[in-house]
Amino acid sequence: MPRLNVQQLFDDRREKLQLTWIAGQKGASRELTHEALNRPGVGLVGHLNLVHPILIQALGASDLEYLANQPPEARGVSLNALCTGETLCIFLCDGVDAPDFLIDACDQHATPLFLSQKRSRVFVNLLRPYLQRELSEVTTSHGVFLDVLGFGTLITGNSQIGKSELALELISRGAGLVADDAVELYQVGPETIQGRCPPLLRDFLEVRGIGVLNIRAIFGETAVRPRKTLRLIVHLERPTDEYFLALDRLQTKSSATAILGVEIPTVTLAVVAGRNLAVLVEAAVRNHILQTRGYDSTKDFIDRHEEIMREQPDGSANEKALDSFNDTNSFRAYSTE
């Protein structure tokens, strides 16, 4: 189960959030688990709230002013509620200084207290995606994950079918490598899956006959990506006679693959001699982009044909054209040339 402790959070986000650890160092081992994402009634990170539990409290200038203006007895009750219970750690934002009463309370309860130069609203927006990413359930997929034309594209298929060679050609055409062989996929939103590379494999792509290539060293910094949202799966398959017989060439509904409960659009490409798979993958991505914008070229073709059929009731010439377009044997001959 994914876990994240306070020390790791501080080390990972120290520079990005401009953090300084000023109190509660004894609570460095406190940790969050994947269950924290789904606990009802408990917030993961947010502004000061003494009523509903929030695991990571972000305090700004107005919050400190509220605490400072309370009578000593009432402030003690508020600090006790803030530093105990569900609270993992506290961040002071807006560049404010930590008052002595808050430092003392955090040291007393071993609640880590940090200073951040970020505005509280910006801080919350920056920290939430990180926590979601680190605590999300992770699954590993075999394939090559690329940034193709700005879209996260996962290339899958049986071993030795040519995934890495295809990825290398796409990278030479401007695509970016995220991960090869083992792709870590995790959910960052109700309908959003992101992919990243395990640290051991980062920057590397194995191509049979050449060996393990360092893509960053060969193609430069712009040829790799740290992570990408998964938008499309391209599955490579060696076709059989039954494959072409069952192929619906006027299919209007895309297939999909479920990953962590999220349906990801999937395109299957037949691997046969003479086909330029890199061009086909880019075309599949461009077509998917058009579909996300509401345009379906296959449906447009069918609608245009039906409109012509209505204009010419006999429809003889158009029926002949459509029969030719749907001739499976002709398609098989073309695909296997």
Examine the residue annotation and report whether 142 is marked as an active-site residue of this protein: yes
The SS3 assignment for 229 reads strand
| Residue of 181, 225, 227, 231 with catalytic role | 181
| Residue of 142, 173, 299, 304 with catalytic role | 142
Strands 262-270 and 227-237, by their bridges, are: parallel
Token pair, residue 279, equals: 């061009």
| Residue of 3, 39, 52, 249 with catalytic role | 249
Which pairs count as long-range contacts for 295-300, CB under 8 Å and 24+ apart, including other chains?
296/252, 298/250, 298/251, 298/252, 299/252
* CA distances to 240, 252, 312 from 302, in Å: 27, 9, 15
Examine the residue annotation and report whether 181 is marked as an active-site residue of this protein: yes
| Residue of 13, 109, 118, 163 with catalytic role | 163
DSSP β-bridge partners for residue 154:
145, 233
Rounding to the nearest 10 degrees, give the CA dihedral for residues 269, 275, 278, 282: -60
Q: Please say whether the beta carbons of 101 and 14 come within 8 A.
A: no
- Closest by alpha carbon to 21, among 31, 8, 33? 8
Catalytically active residues are 142, 163, 181, 249
